[in-house]
Amino acid sequence: MTDDAAFELPVIRLRPKSKPQAIRHGFPWVFADEAVLDRRTRNIVPGGFARLEDPERKPLGLVTVNPNSKIVARVMDGDPEARIDGAWIAARLSRALQMRERLYEAPFYRLVHAEADGLPGLVIDRFGDAAVMQPNAAWADAMAEEIADALVQVTGVSTVILNGQGRARGLEGLGERMEVIRGSAPEAPVQVAMNGATYLADLMGGQKTGLFFDQRPNHAFARALVPQGGTVLDVFSHVGGFGLAGLAGGAGRATCVDGSAAALELAQGGAAAMGAGDRLEVIQSDAFKALEAMAEEGRRFDVVICDPPAFAPAKPALEAGLRAYERVAKLAAPLVAPGGYLGLCSCSHAADLTAFRNVSARGIGRGGRRAQLIHTGQAGPDHPMLPHLAETGYLKALFFRLD
């Protein structure tokens, strides 16, 4: 952003009945029905910048604008005179990196968690010498080159991959794109060590960025529940998150169930890399059908974990999503051996913790079991929460001991 461009920034003003104090206290979004949008602001190119003012014309900060989105403005900086350029991005990345380097010995973590790290709509996961970025807001998509340059400068990575896929981009009016914008794509899946297990991350063809770092502390808790030589069932396993953690903790056998053959192949590769290939069973199947089939076979496991995709990604899907979570609990509970443990997870931000806990407990009861709730988990600290924005605290993990 040049000095002339900054001087000529348009202004977006909040409507009189809006609540500007929410913005002043840290809420990062302005919805379309909260702003006065004249012809000039409606013509702002998605991802452009503007100054935000309250109804009395007092400045609130600098925002990025997308007239095509329900979130018409996202706060970039509390300083209305800020310049959003490579130096600004590098400063935000440096702040994010400082915390992760204190928390983790190896450079495998979520480096940027969107609004919670002051980079709205931008997600970046780091895999050693490579970083995968998801620009889910128009400004980040438009400034992908500047972000990549700053990433190389601040972290020293040599490869930057842009994964422009997913529901969030559609809500912003952004098309899909997948490309390597710095360096070259890894020739093989990247090995990631977590909690004593080895995972394989496909940075170009895997789900999301290739691996779910958010479950790291919940993998560790589940690992501690597995008795030596015991059995683990990991349903909706992706690349074997909970199953491989169980094997690392001494499980005699782990079973991973997923609908993706590619994900299960990565799970098998991870198990082989940690010397446990002969202790992993994989089942490619619809998860609900697999749960029903295993119940009919009379199978039981010491630890059962279900980590499904977001059944309630938005409020319109909430009721159907809660029913699906309840059904998962009902089908999974009978597979837990007496005195064993059941872990149920939700990454749906529309389903809050209370609602998810209630349907999980009801499902366990409908499955004919009684339970103690022994632990409630969330995403790791590389996925910080913005207290004002519930969406940043999306992950919930409930661990039950079943009679």
E runs forming strands in 29-116: 29-31, 35-36, 48-53, 59-65, 71-77, 108-113
| pLDDT given at position 4 | 46
Same domain? 107 vs 212: no
Instruction: Label the pairing between strands 29-31 and 122-127.
Output: unpaired
Same domain? 238 vs 131: no
| pLDDT given at position 2 | 42
- Which is nearest to 69 in space by CA: 42, 38, 89? 42
Tokens of 110: 């979520």
DSSP 94: H
Same domain? 238 vs 342: yes
Final residue of a domain: which of 128, 157, 182?
A: 182
Give the domain range for residue 258: 190-402
pLDDT digit of tens for each residue in the chain (403 aa)? Answer: 444 444 578 999 999 888 788 899 999 999 999 999 888 888 899 999 999 999 999 999 999 999 989 999 999 999 999 999 999 999 999 999 999 999 999 999 999 999 999 999 999 999 999 999 999 999 999 999 999 999 999 999 999 999 999 888 988 999 999 999 999 999 999 999 999 999 999 999 877 888 999 999 999 999 999 999 999 999 999 999 999 999 999 999 999 999 999 999 999 999 999 999 999 999 999 999 999 999 999 999 999 999 999 999 888 999 999 999 999 999 999 999 999 999 999 999 899 999 999 999 999 999 999 999 999 999 999 999 999 888 888 999 999 999 9
What three-state secondary structure class fits 376?
strand
E runs forming strands in 146-287: 159-164, 177-182, 190-194, 197-201, 231-235, 253-258, 280-284
Distances (CA, A) of 401 to 246, 341, 344, 376: 17, 5, 12, 12
Final residue of a domain: which of 43, 77, 111?
A: 77
71-77, strands of its sheet edge to edge: 29-31, 71-77, 59-65, 48-53, 11-14, 35-36
Same domain? 60 vs 114: no
The 3-class secondary structure across 119-151, one letter per residue, is CCCEEEEEECCEEEEEECCHHHHHCHHHHHHHH
| pLDDT given at position 41 | 80
Residues 256, 306, 345, 347: which is the catalytic one? 347
What span, in angstroms and rounded, lies between the C-alpha atoms of 206 and 189?
A: 9
Final residue of a domain: which of 77, 110, 142?
A: 77
| pLDDT given at position 7 | 54
Is residue 28 within 8 Å of residue 75, measured between CB atoms? Answer: yes
Same domain? 177 vs 195: no
Same domain? 225 vs 358: yes
| pLDDT given at position 20 | 84
Look up the CATH number of the domain holding residue 208: 3.40.50.150
Same domain? 226 vs 331: yes
216-225 helix and 241-248 helix, angle to the nearest 10 degrees: 50
What span, in angstroms and rounded, lies between the C-alpha atoms of 311 and 383?
A: 20
State the burial class of residue 238 (Cβ atoms within 10 Å of its Cβ: 0-12, 13-18, 19+). buried
Same domain? 272 vs 325: yes
Same domain? 287 vs 393: yes
| pLDDT given at position 331 | 98
What span, in angstroms and rounded, lies between the C-alpha atoms of 262 and 202?
A: 9
- Which is nearest to 152 in space by CA: 180, 175, 190, 194? 180
Residue 100 C-alpha from the chain's centroid: 16
Same domain? 167 vs 135: yes
Look up the CATH number of the domain holding residue 174: 3.30.750.80
Overall size of the chain counted in residues: 403
Q: Is 306 a catalytic residue?
A: no
Same domain? 71 vs 112: no
Q: pTM score, two decimals?
A: 0.94
Number of compact structural domains in the chain? 3
Look up the CATH number of the domain holding residue 38: 2.30.130.10
Report the alpha-carbon angle 351-356-361, nearest 5: 165
Same domain? 303 vs 396: yes
Q: Which amino acid is at 345?
A: C
159-164, strands of its sheet edge to edge: 108-113, 122-127, 130-135, 159-164, 177-182
Report the alpha-carbon angle 169-109-279, nearest 5: 105
What span, in angstroms and rounded, lies between the C-alpha atoms of 2 and 6?
A: 6
